[in-house]
Structure 1
Amino acid sequence: MTITAAADGSALGNPGPAGWAWYIDDQTWRAGGWPHGTNNMGELKAVLDLLEATAVDADQHLHILCDSQYVINSVTKWMPGWKRKGWRKKDGKPVLNVELLKDIDRALAGRSVEFEWVKGHSGHALNEAADKRANGAATAFSKKQDPDVGPGYGGSGPAPSTAAPTTAAPIAAGPGDDLFSLFDQAPAEPAASCSTAIEETVLVADAPGATDFEQITAREQALLGDRLRADPPSAAELLHPDFTEIGASGRRFDRDQILADLAPLGDVDAEEFIADEVSPGAVLLQYTTHERRGTVHRSSLWVQENGRWLLRHHQGTVVGAER
């Protein structure tokens, strides 16, 4: 027999009031969250709680539906290497959300578990049900209310915890080869947290009634900010699964390479944003940044999938040194 469930997370502001949920049917689901957390914490916690709740039926195959490729890749592709390196990435930097990942690793022992990626907000019944409950929990915490935790799995297990999970320290590194990558550059001093302006632009992206241009430019600026760059899993939520980048060195990098080396850029001023719709659901954004290494002309291709803008490709060219 196979147990099929969807697991999802939600964060208002990311980070902000956060929720998580897993869903099997209307009589079998559970949700919870924290006053402050990230979307990826919610995604991981949903999987962890599902594993723990269904441990009473550990002899059955568990089929987990996720719309987070970060979760699936973390568990099925990256985690074995992280464990061998003492829960550090290949560059020696600490893995984010490590306590949740360690708990998932323990909960997977002896289980038959299959992960399947599904597109979020695409009408998938189980995914939509989990998303609704995770968002409901996050909304409850934003209002300082207790969330609806649901009936659970056969009535087993304690109520979900609202304690904030332990997270790894932010990553500190030097300026990148381009918007995301750190290749071909000398290291620099760790950068400070992102500015209030960058934090506000993330909120603009999710504001009701925001135009496509506002959403895209807000996300682009957030990806330049140190707070988001110090949290690669959160940055990954803005990248298309097939994202590519041509760095200032002329090298091509894929999504996994970029996320593995993402780190703060330091002081970056962005200006002269120009957006052109190249086709329905595809916008070319061009702008200029001024940073430590000079002036950079940048181009980003954003595509819309299921009502959400994702970065598909980025390229930057250094045109002069700052004096």
Structure 2
Amino acid sequence: MVYIMEIHTDGGCRGNGRPGAIGAAAAAFKKRNGTYGKAWTRSLPRDDPPPTNQRAELTAIILALELALEKLEKLNMNPYLDVKIYSDSRYAIDCMTIWIYKWTRNGWINAAGNEVVNRDLLEEASDLDDKLKEVGDMDYVWISREKNQYADRCCNYAMDIQ
């Protein structure tokens, strides 16, 4: 049996990378009928490193991966998973589908010869991704902002209440 999960994510930051910046991430499962279920949000730490849009988008991916693993644990069966994580961040999608493999082979050094930014989050996401790939398929799909409005609203609400 195949169990399908579609999770929409978004991350945002106000005051990107500056002192006092606030950031949040959101993830929501899309139901078979096209509506969304409950959304989960997470505030980014305000200290070191300061919140950025990129950190928020990667945190949203991590949140989605954690939720998929939690949902799997609650199932009374061991299905084959088909997980799709949707994001309007090309950075986050490219990190998880292209660059992470190059960076791990290069010892977390980027093409410019510098340490990869957000390595801590990328390693966490990679570990969670590996766990899900043990029980099924993982895909990361870029979507336009127009198709990601629910996750965007949830993320903005999480920043509004900080």
**What is the TM-score when the length of structure 2 is the normalising length?**
0.78
Shift of 1:37: 0.5
The structure with the larger Rg is 1
Structure 1 runs of 4+ aligned residues shifted over 6 Å read: none
Point out the structure with the larger helix share.
Answer: 2
Q: Secondary structure at the match of 1:86?
A: coil
2:55 and 2:111 map into 1 onto residues whose CA distance is 22
Deviation per CA, 1:31-76: give whole Å up to 9, x if none. Answer: 0113451111111011111111211428411111110000111111
For residues 99-248 of structure 1, the aligned pairs below 5 Å read: 99-110=120-131, 111=133, 112-120=137-145, 122=146, 124=147, 127-141=148-162
Kept in 2: contact 1:17–1:139 (CA 8 A): no
Tell me, which stretches of 5 or more residues in structure 1 are unaligned? 142-323
Structure 2 match to 1:79? 100
Structure 2 match to 1:52? 66
Question: Is 1:8 the equivalent of 2:13?
Answer: no
Question: Is 1:39 the equivalent of 2:53?
Answer: yes
Q: 1:62 aligns with which of 76, 83, 86?
A: 83
Tell me, which stretches of 5 or more residues in structure 2 are unaligned? 31-35, 74-79
1:50 and 1:72 map into 2 onto residues whose CA distance is 13
Kept in 1: contact 2:22–2:51 (CA 8 A): yes
Higher RCO (C-alpha 8 Å, min separation 6): 2
Kept in 1: contact 2:96–2:140 (CA 8 A): no
Identity rate, percent? 25
1:91 and 1:129 map into 2 onto residues whose CA distance is 36
1:5 and 1:52 map into 2 onto residues whose CA distance is 11
What's the Cα RMSD here? Answer: 1.6
Q: Secondary structure at the match of 2:107?
A: coil
2:160 and 2:54 map into 1 onto residues whose CA distance is 16
May I ask how many residue pairs the two structures share in their alignment? Answer: 137
**What is the TM-score when the length of structure 1 is the normalising length?**
0.40
Matched AA of 1:49 = L
2:95 and 2:40 map into 1 onto residues whose CA distance is 23
Shift of 1:27: 3.6
Shift of 1:137: 1.4
1:12 and 1:135 map into 2 onto residues whose CA distance is 10
Kept in 2: contact 1:12–1:139 (CA 8 A): no
